[in-house]
Amino acid sequence: MKILIGGGSGFVGRELTRLLISKGHEVTVVSRQPGPGNITWSDVESKGLPPCEGAVNLTGENLMNPLRWWNESYKKDLFSSRIDTTRTLAQAIAASPNPPHSWVLVSGVACYKPSLTAEYTEDSEWAPFDLLSRLVKEWEAAALLPQEVANTTRQVVIRPGAVLGRDGGAMKQMWLPFWLGLGGTLGSGRQPFPWIHVSDLAGIIAHSLEPPTPDTSSDSPQVLNGVAPALNNNYEFTKELGRVMRRPTLLPVPGFAMNALLGSERAVVLTQGQKVIPRRTLETGYQYKFPDLTSALEEIVGR
């Protein structure tokens, strides 16, 4: 197939591109700058959607960018970088004389309200309750296709948790403090920690790009929770990472310190959490490569 990936040069995009090419597919990346194998967002806006059987959007300003302070300008970029690019692709798909058979948006689990007890599946009802959940609401709304196009193009929304991998994502910022023996639980440590290995997130996306069968056809988006089936909390993650890296994890980081460092609206991603269950993801038949924390971390650390 020919696959178009918005944000294909990022952490998840690179992994997805490698996987799709290994399966014999042809990949075109949409990015801000032109280059070999790339087209720009301006190209999509002015020339329309290039011929493709599947389209994916992974674009978005890094929520945990350590180089940007939590202010109104940063919040605006978080929204615009996701919503504007998603709308651009959705509009191009709707206007295409030959729209792709699959359109995949990767959003996030921030739509589910943090809780120590509640469990969320893809069927759980939710409403915006803070800045990040409002972002997910507007982001996913921007991906919706008109009815006449949705009848032929399958819409899939994948909501990942923390994405773990060797060369990016959450591990990139945790690696050095843990390696120095400065790692520790965040806040109480009891908060759920929904996570997924980057290889599995790429695998779920690739699985969603396959041509739809009659039983998967629908004019409304199919929602998949992009998390591992294991239910871990921050304490379990911290201790397992320390064990795999052979480093102590004796220095907890209090919640107020995280709020001061990241801003309370951003720190909530780390100091609170949700028990997210990938029920529908499992029902699609996807087979996880790293369904448990130990196998995922050992692959990442290189043991």
- H/E element, 263: none
- H/E element, 28: strand 26-31
Query: Which one, of 194, 210, 200, 128, lies nearest residue 162 by Cα?
Result: 194
User: In this structure, how many other beta carbons lie within 10 angstroms of the beta carbon of residue 92?
Assistant: 20
pLDDT digits (tens, 9 = 90+) for 110-122: 999 999 999 999 9
User: Is the pLDDT at 215 greater than 80, yes or no?
Assistant: no
* For range 59-64, the mean pLDDT: 93
Fold classification of 2-163+195-228+275-289 is Rossmann fold (3.40.50)
Cα 37 to Cα 29: distance, rounded to the nearest angstrom: 7
* For range 144-170, the mean pLDDT: 94
**Least reliable range by pLDDT among 147-161, 163-177, 221-235:** 163-177
Cβ burial of 71 (10 Å; 0-12, 13-18, 19+) is exposed
Running DSSP on this structure, what letter comes out for residue 216?
Answer: G
Q: pLDDT over 70 for what percent of the chain?
A: 98
pLDDT of residue 170: 85
Strands (E), 152-278: 154-160, 162-165, 168, 195-197, 222-226, 275-276
* Angle (deg, nearest 10), helices 169-179 and 11-22: 120
Domain assignments of the chain as residue spans, ordered by start: 2-163+195-228+275-289
Collect all residues with Cβ–Cβ distance below 8 Å to 82 and sequence separation of at least 6. 59, 60, 61, 107, 135, 139, 142
Alpha carbon of 86 to those of 19, 94, 129, 149, 160: distances in Å?
A: 22, 12, 22, 16, 17
pLDDT of residue 220: 82
pLDDT digits (tens, 9 = 90+) for 273-287: 999 999 999 999 999
pLDDT digits (tens, 9 = 90+) for 189-202: 999 999 999 999 99
Running DSSP on this structure, what letter comes out for residue 211?
Answer: P
Q: Write down the mean pLDDT value for the chain.
A: 94
User: How many residues are given for the chain?
Assistant: 303
Phi, psi of 220 (to 5 degrees): -115, 155
* For range 140-159, the mean pLDDT: 96
Cα 185 to Cα 193: distance, rounded to the nearest angstrom: 11
Residues 202, 207, 212, 215, CA torsion sign = negative
Alpha carbon of 192 to those of 115, 130, 186, 228, 232: distances in Å?
A: 8, 18, 11, 12, 6
